[in-house]
Amino acid sequence: MSHERTFEELQRELEEVVSQLERGEVPVDEAIALFERGQELYKACVALLEAAELRVEELAPPSPS
């Protein structure tokens, strides 16, 4: 059974990746891998936010014309 990670979990991991990259203490190969992981995490966060926005729009009452 797969566990879908929450936005908060993904965001925490992304913040850790960014922190590691900002410290600049990782070898170049590892920095590239971290950067790629950060991109994946960012895209996953954006997708979750967009899905949440769509749900909110569906639940919101229509605006009066």
Q: Quick check: 38 pLDDT over 80?
A: yes
DSSP output for the chain: ---PPPHHHHHHHHHHHHHHHHHT-S-HHHHHHHHHHHHHHHHHHHHHHHHHHHHHHHHSPPPP-
* Residue 10 identity (one-letter amino acid): L
Could you tell me the two tokens for 26? 């990782």
* pTM assigned to the model: 0.82
Cα–Cα distances in Å, from 40 out to 37, 47, 52?
5, 11, 18
pLDDT digits (tens, 9 = 90+) for 42-63: 999 999 999 999 999 888 887 7
